[in-house]
Amino acid sequence: MAGSALAPADSAARPQRSAATGQVPPRQQVDRRTAPPLRAPPQRSPAVVSGEPTGGATDVSAPPATVRVSKLMAERHLCSRRDADDYIAQGWVFVDGKRVSELGTRTSPGAVITLDRRALANQEARRTILLHKPVGYVSGQPEPGRTPAVALIQPERQFRTADTPAFHPSCLRGLAPAGRLDIDSTGLLVLTQDGRVARQLVGEDSQIDKEYLVRVDGQLDDRGLALLNNGLSLDDRRLKPARVEWLNADQLRFVLREGRKRQIRRMCELVGLRVLGLKRVRIGAVRLGDLPLGQWRFLRPDEVF
């Protein structure tokens, strides 16, 4: 309203002069015997140092995260998780120099893990076999009416040289394929008793590439070739980049670092090609070489994937 002035914000708390005398009335006295006690303002709690943190504070004294010894052993390719549990149960594992014999033992991620000589000897006895798989054999679990590739590991099918160890039935114990090669494909298939080899070839963090020669029918332009190299998805999941190139008028060379089910055949279908023949010729640094079709040999000590 015009002509009126706003009172100061603290006017209600300020003593007012008497209109009659012009003097400020005396301050009202408070009887401390009957007045409620004064309360100190609440204090903010300091950040906790141990126990459950509050207010977003970090528990600076919390122990470092630990991990199962068996998991750590598998991650370092010392052995498989199954073998790690077996070695721990037998007292063949040392963590920072101390023997571990209880399953489920945890340690820091940086712990030094060593194996007893008996565990090392056990690993040395594990065999890895290279097979030139023919068409018509399945690499994994047999389906009704199908023959598993491991059935070909027989003494009469061994490809031997002068320094090759002889077949012994013990090499079949626990032998399993490390990776797949479908029933219509041929070439190098690895079967192993060694969990370290299996993890190296098919583990989630595997960096081992695999080379295939693929005969195809159909037309493939530059765009289709580019898609084969990088740009396709299977099962709503993008494929890792591959290396794909022409070798001749009807044959492509594929180098992959993953092994989805029937991956190459499905990739070719997506760009209008039909696969007539597929052969795996290399896994990592190990080649199929002159190993005859349907025969097998042991992985040599000087060979590494």
Catalytic positions are 182
DSSP per residue over 219-275, as a string?
---HHHHHHHHTT-EETTEEPPP-EEEEEETTEEEEEES---TTHHHHHHHHTT-EE
* Helix (DSSP H) and strand (DSSP E) numbers for the chain: 6, 18
Instruction: Provide Rg for the chain, Cα atoms.
Output: 37
Report the C-alpha gap between 129 and 154 in whole angstroms. Answer: 12
| CB-facing half-sphere around the CA of 130: CA atoms within 13 A | 26
Report the C-alpha gap between 179 and 176 in whole angstroms. Answer: 9
Residues 69, 113 contacting (CB under 8 angstroms): yes
Which three-class secondary structure state does DSSP give residue 171?
helix
